Amino acid sequence: MHLIVGLGNPGAEYARTRHNAGFLVLALLAGRWRADWNYDKKFNARLARGERGGNRALLCEPQTYMNSSGEAVGALAAFYRIVPARLLVIVDDADLPLGEIRLRPGGGSGGHHGLESIEQHLGTKQFARLRIGIGRAEGAREITNYVLGRFSAAEVTVADEVFKVAADQAECWLDAGIQKAMNQFNGTAGGSGKKD
């Protein structure tokens, strides 16, 4: 079993905000796989099950709010005995410009509280994270209002294309492993998003 986690905040007021990039990519995956979402109280998460090329995958949207995402992810990983190599976390990144995606096999949280919470609950940083660039307001250090804001009309087209390419990259990770997924998709996701 593989676990693909999208990070975001629950509730209508946060729907389609920049900080919910992970939820938006998971919605695309669930749609492609015709997987139905169910709320699981035990994990405080929305879960959907899918299968692709013989690989079973559990999609997870923690309903804990971003900064406590690790509570749901840690409990799920323990319950399903998911090793870190079979975990992918999809997350927004204000340090990457809009249109960029970057998959890595591990690394630091970059100050992202959702990733920090997952690292804390798993006791490791060695799990794949797919960062989706959302950019930041010019020169701004305080970004709370920005990340909790919605994409502007000009950004929506780019963002929607990026989410599709990120979903493609997550499927490639599942099908062919992290190395191929990094080589094929890391970088600018505008246009076709794929590199030859």
CB atoms under 10 Å from CB of 192, counted, come to 10
User: Residue 126's closest CA among 179, 161, 167, 89?
Assistant: 89
Is 19 annotated as catalytic?
yes
Of 2, 19, 112, 121, the catalytic one is 19
d(CA 111, CA 137): 17
Cβ within 8 Å of residue 150, ≥6 positions away = 16, 17, 18
CB atoms under 10 Å from CB of 50, counted, come to 20
Helical spans, DSSP H, in 100-193: 113-122, 144-147, 153-176, 178-185
User: Residue 132's closest CA among 45, 18, 30?
Assistant: 18
186: tokens are: 């890391």
Which amino acids are annotated catalytic? Answer: 19
